[in-house]
Amino acid sequence: MDALELLLTRQSTPRLVAPAPDEQQLQHILDAATRAPDHAGLTPWEFIIAQEDGLDRLGDIFAKALQAKGADEEFIAKAKNMPLRAPMVITVVAKHRPHPKVPEIEQSLAAGCALFAMQQAAFAQGLGGIWRTGELAFDANVHRLLGLENCDQIVGFLYLGTPAIKASTKALKDGKSFARYL
């Protein structure tokens, strides 16, 4: 698959099964992330990988965070099982650092680009992935239980695995309809 085909056919894959990316595939995925735009070379990201027992630990973190907020038991049980929707989940964290020329928003965007590059690398290798956020990405208890610092922000949970079904390619939107010239 060439780069342009990848960019024009990429889509999210919500139904994922084993196997997860193997070691070589994961290495490509992580290496692709480090090619994201990175003003001043801050590498403002961290990748927390959960697979196998790590998926249960991530689910426990979600459940504990929601219990601390007083969520109902049904929602807590659902959240506990969320990481089990894929054989691997990578939590991508923006690691904000004070810098005179690189504001926090730019560091968050760099981490988001890293996440997108990881999803693209997975897709290029025949894998599937979906970038999820939701309230748990912004929950202070989730951050604390993951050992994040106060200035850190989860930009997404990248669910990775093998597509459960061959999804039809979504229609391409006309990019010009979102553009204007000055």
Cα-Cα-Cα-Cα torsion 122, 124, 129, 130, nearest 10 degrees, comes to: 120
Q: Say which residue, 118 or 11, is predicted with more confidence.
A: 118
pLDDT at position 67 is: 98
Question: Percent of the chain, pLDDT > 90?
Answer: 91
The pLDDT confidence band at residue 21, using thresholds 50, 70 and 90, is very high
The pLDDT confidence band at residue 123, using thresholds 50, 70 and 90, is very high
Rounded to an integer, the average pLDDT of 11-30 is 96
Rounded to an integer, the average pLDDT of 118-125 is 97
8 A C-beta contact, residue 172 and residue 111: no
The pLDDT confidence band at residue 167, using thresholds 50, 70 and 90, is confident
Rounded to an integer, the average pLDDT of 169-179 is 91
pLDDT at residue 166 tops 90: no
Burial class (CB in 10 A: 0-12, 13-18, 19+), 93: buried
Phi/psi-derived region of residue 37, left when phi > 0, alpha when psi is between -120 and 50, beta in every other case: beta
Other Cβ atoms closer than 10 A to 6: 13
Residue range 71-107, pLDDT digits in tens: 999 999 999 999 999 999 999 999 999 999 999 999 9
8 A C-beta contact, residue 66 and residue 75: yes
Q: Is residue 14 reached through a cis peptide bond, with omega within 30 degrees of 0 on the bond before it? A: no
pLDDT at position 101 is: 97
pLDDT at residue 168 tops 90: no
pLDDT at position 100 is: 97
Q: Report how far Cα 111 is from the mean position of its chain's Cα atoms.
A: 10
Global confidence as pTM: 0.95
pLDDT at position 145 is: 98
Cα distance between residue 33 and residue 27, in whole Å: 10
Other Cβ atoms closer than 10 A to 80: 19
8 A C-beta contact, residue 132 and residue 155: no
pLDDT at position 1 is: 77
When the pLDDT of each residue in the chain is averaged and rounded to a whole number, the result is 96
User: Per 3-state DSSP, what percentage of the chain is helix, strand, and coil (rounded to 5)?
Assistant: 45, 20, 35
